[in-house]
Each structure stands twice: as structure tokens, then as C-alpha cells.
Structure 1
Amino acid sequence: MENSTKRNLEKTSSLSGSIFAVTGEEVEERTHWKRKLVIRLYPLVLLLTDIFLVSAIFALTIYLHSGVDFPHSISRRVLFAIMLPSIIGVYMIGGYNYATDKRQARFVSEHIIASIGVAVVVFCLIYSIVSYGVNLKSPRLVVGEALVLFPAVSIFYRYFLSRVQARYERGNAVCIIGAGRRGRDLYTRLVKRGGGHEFIVVTFRPELVGTRLIAGDSTSPLVEAIENVTFQSSIRGKYVEQYVVATEVERIPEEFSRRMVSALFLGHKIATYETYLANTLRIEPPSQLTMNWPMMDGFRLNRSVSYDRAKRLIDIAAALLGFVFASPLLIATAIAVKLTSAGPIIFSQVRTGHREKPFMIFKFRSMRVGSEKGAKYTSVNDDRLTSIGAFIRKTRLDEMPQLWNVLIGDLSLIGPRAEWVDLVKGYEERFPFYHFRHAVKPGITGWAQVNYSYGANDEDTLEKLNYDLYYVRRYSLSLDVAIVVKTCYMILFGKGM
């Protein structure tokens, strides 16, 4: 009797366990099904939103100009001529793609560039084709306002939508394949970047299984066996958003490589360490730096010089306009510097420029006289700063006199930071490939400046070098606009030093 009862309990327990297992799988499957549904509906919802916004903005601008109600004010031809290019422009930059991070300056800059192109196309369509033989109700000012307002609203609401999306995806995992130096480096970078992702780290080396990725750091993930990677939707119930191969590809077993390539063709997001750093974190992978680096495919200096010439014209125009429109600010800053500390208003120093040619740079003085004889690096709350110095540094007002350097050709508006010649000599001795950053003209603001604070030590300098070399290799109109967007954000919200 007792044995019979025991067998019944075991059966019940086994049945209960299997029920819970099935239920767990069902919950996981239901979660993934909901995610797939959200991803599929996402483009449609955004498309309908954009159609509504273009129509509403167009109608509103006409109403504000003429006071005519919506049905009587709409020229369907003009509306269609505005709407179709606008939607195509957003589509071309990934504005309807769920995976596009619309909070990034890259997306904002591409949206701005696309909007300029859309405006040109729309005006050509309306005033050469649509208006042919027809007396249009819509004045040019209304069309222009609609073409300015829609991109602004689109950028704004997509930014907040991406924030909601990031909260929704909190807890998704990034799977790092490899627990060596590259795996540790990638994990450290992603943790600093933030984002709420969890990390799954797997290895081909059995002796590392069960250890911490970073020895002595109890918050770093435990290293798991490579067998846990089946390239399904999830690992241990965590949805894997991205697989990153952070080990040398030639060391991966052939059978695993075959499965990995099959998973890539099936739509799983898989990237190597180098491509992930370049395309997602947007730095130049340190592992790619060799003496042959400038000969690599995609190096910007091997392309047409057309953009370089256009960039120089933009620099001259911006410098002249800057002097005109910022003259009250220049005068006010000069007076503030003079009244708050003894010494000259302008600080000058020899910096290393394009192709290592030295030049004299000019800035509003933000430190006490003689401070350059002290520490080489500027630190947070540096006691050498004058009472107004911290403010003009944070708002970048100290760099306004550099417009003169831009005008005479020593600087560009955008490029790697021009460093003090004494520092450069030491950097080139300690850091191989540091001289590569001088392959382009230095700038007032740049990719490293907007992504990393002022360097406080050699480690910071090396990290900024990775950003500078990314710019040197890949600089373009879209990247320059992204830098301008991020610079404006830093000035307006007081970010950085």
C-alpha cells in the first residue's frame, strides 16, 4: 500500500513537472509571438502616423495663413507631392525599421539630410509638374513650412518612441561568443554605454566555463559552454537580440561556423567583434590597426576630393557667418574673461595640425595665467580654471576665437581635436598609429569630442584615438551632420567639459 502510494505521488510529481515545463515553453513562445507581432505592425503604425502628420501639418499651415477649413484648403495634388517624397525619404534612412535606433545622432543627421533632399524634390515636383496648367491654392510659404515642420515632428516623436522601445526591450540579451580579451573588452564597453541589456557569454574553452568573465568582478556574467548556443530565439528564456563573435574567427570549429552562417541567413543578427565596434559603437576597432591601415578598403582619403572642397567652402562660409552673428557673444565673453581674472583675454598655443604641420591656435582664456606649466590634462573641477572658465568650457564659448583658425585654413569646423605639440610627441612615442589622426585637418568639434570627455590620462587618450581614427577613415556628410547635432545638444544641455 505504501509503495503504491509512493508510485502515485511520483507519477503526480512527474506529470506536474511536465505540465509546468510545457507551460513555461508556452509562455516563452507567447512572448516571442507578441514580439514578432510588434515588429510586423511597427512599420504600418509609423506609416499611418506619418500620413496623418503630413496631412495635419499641411492643413494647419494653410488654415493659419488663410483661415480656411481643412476640406476647402487641401490641394490633393500638392499634398500627395509632399507626402510621397517625405515618406520615401524616411524609409530610405530606416525610419520604419524596428531595429533603427532613432535616438542616435546618426539617425537625426540622416533625417536632416534626407529632408533637405526631399524639399528640393517636392519643390521641383510641385512647381514644374503638379502646377502645370493648374492654379494652385497652396502658396510656397505653406509648402516650405510643411517641409520643415514634418521632419521636426518626425524626429521628435521617433526619439520618444525609441525610448519606449528601449524600455520594452530591457532584459533582452547580447550573446558574446568568446571569453578572452576581446570578449572582456566588448562587455566593458557595452556596460559603460548602458542600455539595460543582459549579457550571455559563451566559450569554446572548457576550462573557462563557470568562471567570471572579468576575474574579481562579481557583477560580470558567468561564462557558459558553447553548447548553450543553439541559435534559437532565446537562451535560458532570454531573448537574444544580438550575437557578437568576440574571438578570432579562424579559431571557431568548422561545424559551429556552418551553423552560425545558416543562422545568419535565417535572419539572426550576428556580427564579428570588428564590425560590431565599427557599425554599432562607431569606433575604429583597435585590432585592425596596422601600418597598412590607410590602405584598407573604405579609407576616406582614397576617395574623391569633391567633399573635401565642399567642406572647405562650408568652413569659410560658417566662419564668416559665425563672426557676424556671434559678435555680441564674442564681445560679452571677452569682457567676462577680462573682468574675472588677470591676464590676456586670448590664450594662444602651438598645436599639431594637418599632416603634423604646427600652427598657432586661439581661444578665450579659461585658466589662470601660467596654468599650462602644470598638469598636461584637464580634469573635472580643475582648480586652475577661472571663475568664468568652467562655464565657457562647458558651453564651448572658449573655442569661438578658433573661427579665425577655420577662416585661414588651420582648422576645419569638424575634425580630430588639435593637440598641444608637446603632448603629441609623447603620444606618438607611446601609442603606435597615433600619427594617423593627422591625416585629416583638425577641427573645433569632432567625433571623439562629442562621444568622449576631455582626456584625463593615457587610457582616455587611447580611447579617444579609436573615435578619431573612425572619423579619419569614414568621414562623410552624414557623419559631419551627426557631429554638429551632438555638439548642439552638448552646448544646449551643458554636457561635457
Structure 2
Amino acid sequence: MLTQHDKPQVAQSEHPLSGRAVQFFCIVTFGLVVPVLIWLAARFTEVDARYVPNTAAGATIAALASWYILDRLRIYAKARQLSYVVPVNLLTFGSAFAAIGLMRAPYSTSLFFGCLLMTMATGYVLTALTRLGNKPQYLIAGGRVSEIPHRGNQIAVTSSAEIEALIDSGSIQGSLVGDLHHDHDDEWERLFAKAALRGIPVYHYRQILELETGQVRIDRLSENVLGSLIPNLPYMALKRTLDVLAVIVLSPLLILLMAIIAIVIKFDSRGSVLFIQDRMGFRGEVFRMVKFRTMRAREVDDDALAQREDAMTRSDDDRITRVGRFLRKVRLDELPQAWNILKGEMSWIGPRPEAISLSEWYEKEIPFYSYRHIVRPGLTGWAQVNQGHVTDLGDANAKLRYDFYYVKNISHWLDMLIALKTIRVVLSGIGAK
């Protein structure tokens, strides 16, 4: 029987196109070989042999990289593969195209973009067909199983005889999901063991709940589902290096963009261009976060309630300036935090740092709130791309569960998924206040 810390696959599929070997064959055949043959046939009399090897090599690397990235992203909650087929392919093919250009190697633009279009089309079809064949999940009644959001492939089960008949006949497809901490009767306990011995996955409800919601709950410290209070340390060290390199590489663009924004803010409203505020950061240490000013200043009393109210930004907040509303919508007001990243106070991706007054309030009211400070705060994060800006306790509690999911699953793949989601959020303006 699987333990609570085992990770089930997100998309168990019966579709014949779900196998990696089959998908690899389809990507190579329809995404690469077919467009190359069409291109050669269309230009048979004027083909320059120098163009084909470089273009084919670059397109092959890009196509296989995009397929592999999409395959890795699918294990995380809320990873809607279909919506990432295009951006991931544009990223990999764009990188390959830039590399070929920098090497000044001869290539064919038409062949390269033909491979890009065919790879995207193939990836989209494979992903769509794979999703159609998801195996069912049999939800065993009892305990907290009812908390799992219902999906089309989930079947509620109340009769142990029904499941036993499926197990004995060998016709059961999919997995069993139950609250393994619930006091089930002896018959259900026997069936869980029987299913596991037959090779049928048996999952604790919490695993499926996390995969469906992208949230992790900590009910009691003795049952800390994070397993360890220290996240992935090797990756955190690598992440710090990547953060600094990203700031250095992007600095010419960042400086130009921030200079333009600073001028616009100065002409739009009175006050400083920058807004500097103490925030709760890594390991609970206070740091001074810098961002572009998007609101008009106002006098605030010294009492805790007034400070807390002032730290809350609402969608109809009359303090927000005209330019500020746009900057907040597209998240450009956060760009100066590249300085905080260089200083090691922040990361590009992580839980958002809260104002001191809000953080202290949340810590008093929400159990384990301070645990989110075990990783560096970020410009964007799992909670931001899934929930947006929040202030009240109920929403803050939900946001905390998103932060816990990030801490538990922190990796370069999850960071890549967050980066892709951030692009979508920036373009749509969802969650801005």
C-alpha cells in the first residue's frame, strides 16, 4: 500500500498514445521527419545541402526538449498541459534559433518554422488525446474523502462488495482513493491490502487533494506532511546562483525599462518614484523591499489596527494612481526588487513577502504561518499565480496552503511552471489589486 508521502501520477491514462515511446515516435515522425520531407519535396531543385543538417539538428533538440519539459510539468497540480504547448515550444525553438544564429551557421528559416508548427500541432494532439483516456479514481466513502473536488473520472463508492468484485475479476482500472486515517471497518481494510497486492494503486485522500488543488495543509505538527522542515537544500543553493545570473543577464533590459517607468511615474503624480517598506523575509528576518510607487501616500496612526489596514490594498483602493493601476496589473511595479534578489533577500520565485503588520497578524491567527519563511520570498510564486493578491484571514489561510505546496515540491520544474503561469497572469492581469 502506498504511504502518505508517495506521489501518484497526475494523469494515469489508458490511451495508446500516452506511452513515452509512442509519444517520442510521434514527435520525431510528425514534428520533424514529415516537415523535412515536405520541405525537400517542395524545393527539390534548389535545395542547398548546407542548410538541412543545422536546421534539422536545432529543430530536433528543440522538439525533444519541449516534449520532455511538458512531460515533467504534468506531475504538478494545476499544470494544464494544453495551455503550455505553445509557450514551451516557442521557448525551446526560440532558444535553438538564437543559438544557430549566434554560431553563424547556415540554416533554413522556412524549414525551422515548419518543424515548429508541426511539433506544436503534434504535441497539442497528443496531449488532448492523452487527457481523454484518464483512468478512473474510485473514491472510497468515509473520513475526509469528500473534500476532494469532483472530476469526471472520479467514481464515488460506498459498497465494498462492488470493489471486491472488480478486483477479483481483474477488470478494475485506475486506483482506489480513501482516507487511510479514517476508522474503516475490517472489510475495507482487507480490500485496501488486497488491492495493493494485486498492483492496484491505493492513495491517501490527501495526495489526490494536493494534486487537485495545488495546496498542502498542515493540521498538526506531529502529522507534518512536508516530511522534513527543511526543503530541497541542493536546489535552493542552485536557485540562488540562477537568481543572480538572471539579474545580471537581464540587467540591460531591466535598467532601460525601469528608467522609462520612473519617468512616467514622476510625471503622473507627486512623490517618490520608489516605495520602500519593511517586509518579513527569509527565515523570518526583516528586510527593506523596494518597488515602484503605485499609490498616493497618506497619514496613518501608530496603532496596530491602523497600520494593518494601511498595508491592505483593495481592488477599489482610491490611493492607486492611474499609472500605478497599470503597473500593478502587469506586475511591472515589482521590477526594482531585482536589487533585493542581488542582495540575497529575495528570489525571482517564492512566497510573496508580507508587510510586517500583516505578517504579525497572520502569525497570531493562522497556525504554522511562519513556516512559509523557510524559503526566500519572490517576485512571483505559486500562490500569486493561482490566487492573486489577498488580505483577509480566510484568503490568507488558503494562500498559505499554496505556499506550503511550493515548499514541499520546490524544484526547477515547479519554478518553470510558475514562470509560465506568471506570463499568463501578466498578460491577463488576473489577481492584480
Asked if TM exceeds 0.5, the reply is yes
Match of residue 415, structure 1, among 347, 350, 371: 350
CA distance in 1, matches of 2:368, 2:286: 19
Match of residue 48, structure 1, among 26, 31, 53: 26
Deviation track 1:182-206 (CA, whole Å, cap 9, x = no partner) reads 234323xx5xxxxx6276444xxxx
User: Helix, strand or coil: the match of 2:390?
Assistant: coil
* 2:147 counterpart residue number: 185
- Contact 1:103/1:159 (<8 A) preserved: no
* 1:338 counterpart residue number: 266
RMSD: 4.9
Distance 1:99-1:476 versus aligned 2 partners, 3 A rule? closer
Q: Does 1:367 align with 2:295?
A: yes
TM-score norm. by structure 1 comes to 0.64
Bigger shift: 469-478 or 333-342? 333-342
Q: How much identity, in percent, do the aligned residues show?
A: 26
User: Helix, strand or coil: the match of 2:267?
Assistant: helix
Shift of 1:354: 0.9
Residue type at the aligned position of 2:152: H
Deviation track 1:116-159 (CA, whole Å, cap 9, x = no partner) reads 9x98xxx9xxxxxxxxxxxxxxx955499989986786456534
1:19-58 aligned within 5 A: 39-41=15-17, 43=19, 44=22, 47-57=25-35
Residue type at the aligned position of 1:40: P
Which structure has the higher relative contact order (CA within 8 Å, separation 6+)?
2
- Contact 2:292/2:336 (<8 A) preserved: yes
1:235-314 aligned within 5 A: 243-245=176-178, 247-249=179-181, 251-263=183-195, 270-287=202-219, 289-290=220-221, 293=224, 296=227, 299-301=230-232, 303-304=233-234, 307-314=235-242
* 1:490 counterpart residue number: 425
- The count of aligned residue pairs is 401
Shift of 1:176: 3.1
Distance 1:271-1:286 versus aligned 2 partners, 3 A rule? same
Residue type at the aligned position of 1:39: H
* 2:9 counterpart residue number: none
CA distance in 2, matches of 1:371, 1:160: 57
1:2-401 aligned within 5 A: 39-41=15-17, 43=19, 44=22, 47-57=25-35, 68-69=46-47, 90=67, 94=71, 103-104=80-81, 140=105, 142=107, 154=119, 157-159=122-124, 162-163=127-128, 168=132, 175-180=138-143, 182-187=144-149, 197=152, 200-202=155-157, 229=163, 232=166, 243-245=176-178, 247-249=179-181, 251-263=183-195, 270-287=202-219, 289-290=220-221, 293=224, 296=227, 299-301=230-232, 303-304=233-234, 307-370=235-298, 373=307, 374=309, 376-401=311-336
Distance 1:99-1:468 versus aligned 2 partners, 3 A rule? closer
- Contact 2:280/2:287 (<8 A) preserved: yes
Indicate the structure (1 or 2) with the bigger Cα radius of gyration. 1
- Structure 2, unaligned stretches of length 5 or more? 1-11, 301-306
* 2:5 counterpart residue number: none
- Contact 1:362/1:405 (<8 A) preserved: yes
- Contact 1:176/1:199 (<8 A) preserved: yes
- Contact 2:17/2:126 (<8 A) preserved: no
Deviation track 1:219-241 (CA, whole Å, cap 9, x = no partner) reads xxxxx5555545749xxxxx986
Distance 1:232-1:352 versus aligned 2 partners, 3 A rule? same
TM-score norm. by structure 2 comes to 0.73
Shift of 1:445: 1.0
User: Helix, strand or coil: the match of 2:294?
Assistant: coil
Bigger shift: 385-394 or 401-410? 385-394
- Contact 2:32/2:115 (<8 A) preserved: yes
CA distance in 1, matches of 2:166, 2:409: 35
- Contact 2:350/2:375 (<8 A) preserved: yes
Residue type at the aligned position of 1:377: M
- Contact 2:280/2:354 (<8 A) preserved: yes
Residue type at the aligned position of 1:309: A
User: Helix, strand or coil: the match of 1:444?
Assistant: strand
Bigger shift: 369-378 or 144-153? 144-153
CA distance in 1, matches of 2:421, 2:382: 9
User: Helix, strand or coil: the match of 2:345?
Assistant: coil
CA distance in 2, matches of 1:37, 1:397: 40
Distance 1:430-1:310 versus aligned 2 partners, 3 A rule? same
* 1:435 counterpart residue number: 370
Shift of 1:433: 1.2
CA distance in 2, matches of 1:390, 1:79: 46
- Contact 2:139/2:177 (<8 A) preserved: yes
CA distance in 2, matches of 1:453, 1:388: 20
- Contact 1:283/1:470 (<8 A) preserved: yes
Q: Does 1:475 align with 2:410?
A: yes
- Contact 2:282/2:375 (<8 A) preserved: yes
Bigger shift: 318-327 or 290-299? 290-299
Distance 1:254-1:74 versus aligned 2 partners, 3 A rule? farther
CA distance in 2, matches of 1:448, 1:407: 23
Distance 1:152-1:79 versus aligned 2 partners, 3 A rule? closer
Shift of 1:58: 5.0
Shift of 1:178: 3.1
- Contact 1:109/1:481 (<8 A) preserved: no
- Contact 1:109/1:485 (<8 A) preserved: no
Shift of 1:282: 3.3
CA distance in 1, matches of 2:145, 2:325: 38
Residue type at the aligned position of 2:312: Y
Deviation track 1:475-495 (CA, whole Å, cap 9, x = no partner) reads 111111111111122112333
CA distance in 2, matches of 1:327, 1:102: 33
